[in-house]
Amino acid sequence: MRIGIDAGPLLTDRPGGVEVYLGELVTRMPRIGCAHEFRLYFNYTRARHGSTVERFTGGNVRARVCRIPPQATTWLHWRLGVPVDWLAGGVDVMFYPSFAVLPQRRGRAVVTIHDLIPLTHPEFCEPEHVRDFRARVPGSVARADAVIVVSDYTGQLVQEHFRVAGDRVREIPNGVHERFRPPTDGAAAARVAARYGIRTPYFLFTGTMEPRKNVCRLVEAFARARGAAADHALVLAGKAAWQARAIEETVARLGLGSRVVLPGYVAVADLPALYGAATAFLFPSLVEGFGIPPLEAMACGCPALASAIPALAEVLGEAALTVDPEDVEAIASGIERLAGDAGLRETLRGRGLRRASEFSWDRTAAETLAVLEGR
């Protein structure tokens, strides 16, 4: 088979959830499906992206690069209906890893829907993103031969909003990379923390700095936490996004400048060390389609606090301490418990390691490839 993949999300040096997902699949599916030819479709004009293309290609993976400015190709596809296979070449199936199915002349189409947040919670998204999502995703789901969802929660929303037949929806959860495991070299972990200006003990949050991650409430809860928590720093690691300035304003308003560390985006290779050395991982998100960061933290032996919301409850099970994400006092109480109760931390550590071990990117890749093969 010739399998086409819309690989545009790989063209970033600061991958988020979707980019991590695609990178894992592009790396693993060709090894599993060695008899297939994989064609990665890229659209860019900047020469620096060439190194990314080279990193993901070779063997049975080839690149098809369109050098038309992205704004122009967006117009060609979405306004004029120019089929993607005119640019990507003939394929038997085209895989769209991030919500939107482009116009396509021949071959099957498979799309992954990670969440429906712009539809269900538009207040947490940039207006432009909400507009594009509403304009493109419903039609994409209708055109797709198969729709992959990353959780049962997201699958139920897809069927509810788009009236998709159940046999067209395939639930395939995300995975955890093998690099995420309890650290064995404390000195190396300390050097990583020092490089980012982090002192121990600390609580850790990682994720894109945007409203749905609920970081402002987390900062307020941290300010209220007493007991052993008062000796901790709070590390908020992640790239700034829409309305991220509100986080800095909250830190300043509460006078927490000396206790809150904002290192910005943290390299993926450094995350295991930061997870492993943290007292606990804090993830009081308001809405998720899956939730990769708490699983990564658990795989590194870090106890986790997470929101009692459907997707996280499904993914994390009983392995995390759960709180109402809209209740600042509840979050603060959870922080205090994790800081002061070593027995609780050890219980959660064991549960977290077991739970995280159930999620594998190899499994995700194998099940995704089966859908692309029409199985």
What confidence category does residue 167 fall into, taking pLDDT thresholds of 50, 70 and 90?
Answer: confident
pLDDT at position 99? 87
Torsion angle (degrees, nearest 10) of CA 179, 180, 185, 191:
90
End-to-end CA distance of the chain: 13
- Contact (Cβ atoms closer than 8 angstroms) between residue 235 and residue 205: yes
CATH number of 2-175+360-372: 3.40.50.2000
Q: Is the dihedral of CA 273, 274, 275, 276 positive or negative?
A: positive
- Contact (Cβ atoms closer than 8 angstroms) between residue 223 and residue 217: no
Q: Is the dihedral of CA 344, 306, 201, 335 positive or negative?
A: negative
Domain with CATH 3.40.50.2000 in the chain: 2-175+360-372, 186-356
- Token pair 């004009």: residue: 45
What confidence category does residue 207 fall into, taking pLDDT thresholds of 50, 70 and 90?
Answer: very high
For residue 77, pLDDT over 90 is answered with no
Q: Which of 67-71, 188-192, 279-283, 298-302 has the lowest mean pLDDT?
A: 67-71
Q: How far apart are CA 138 and CA 146, in angstroms?
A: 14
What confidence category does residue 81 fall into, taking pLDDT thresholds of 50, 70 and 90?
Answer: confident
What confidence category does residue 135 fall into, taking pLDDT thresholds of 50, 70 and 90?
Answer: very high
Query: Mean pLDDT, to the nearest integer, of 273-291?
Result: 96
For residue 71, pLDDT over 80 is answered with no
Q: How far apart are CA 216 and CA 246, in angstroms?
A: 7
CATH architecture of 186-356: 3-Layer(aba) Sandwich (3.40)
pLDDT at position 202? 96
Share of the chain above pLDDT 90, in %: 77
pLDDT at position 165? 83
Q: How far apart are CA 350 and CA 301, in angstroms?
A: 7
For residue 78, pLDDT over 80 is answered with no
